[in-house]
């Protein structure tokens, strides 16, 4: 079983517990599922920024999310996020002309 840590504010958890305590638990599963999705997306964006900056590898990124590299690759593509040439800088220019490295 994969463990993914999602930051959740204490007051959100208390609100969910209060809803359950007063018998409003029918929507609690949906509420918590949405909360988990939001947390996952937040974490994915945090890690993607580090990946994009060249600070972490795709494999490390996947491990942090509890995913395999192929699953992460697919998740990034579904979101329209680049998975290759991250951090690649365009070749330098000289007087507007592209310089081709030798």
The full length of the chain comes to 102
How confident is the model at residue 9, as a pLDDT? Answer: 66
* Higher per-residue pLDDT: 94 or 62: 62
For the stretch 46-71, pLDDT in tens is: 999 999 998 999 999 999 988 999 99
* Alpha helical stretches, state H, 1-102: 10-21, 28-52, 58-65, 69-78
Query: Residue 81: which of 36, 43, 44 has the closest Cα?
Result: 44
Burial of 44 (0-12, 13-18, 19+ CB in 10 A): buried
């Amino acid at each position: 079983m994969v463990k993914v840590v999602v930051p959740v504010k204490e007051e959100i958890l208390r609100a969910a517990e209060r809803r359950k305590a007063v018998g409003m638990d029918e929507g609690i599963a949906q509420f918590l599922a949405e909360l988990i999705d939001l947390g996952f997306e937040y974490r994915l964006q945090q890690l993607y920024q580090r990946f994009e900056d060249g600070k972490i590898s795709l494999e490390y990124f996947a491990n942090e999310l509890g995913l395999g590299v192929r699953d992460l690759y697919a998740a990034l593509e579904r979101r329209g996020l680049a998975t290759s040439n991250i951090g690649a800088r365009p070749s330098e220019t000289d007087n507007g002309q592209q310089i081709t490295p030798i």
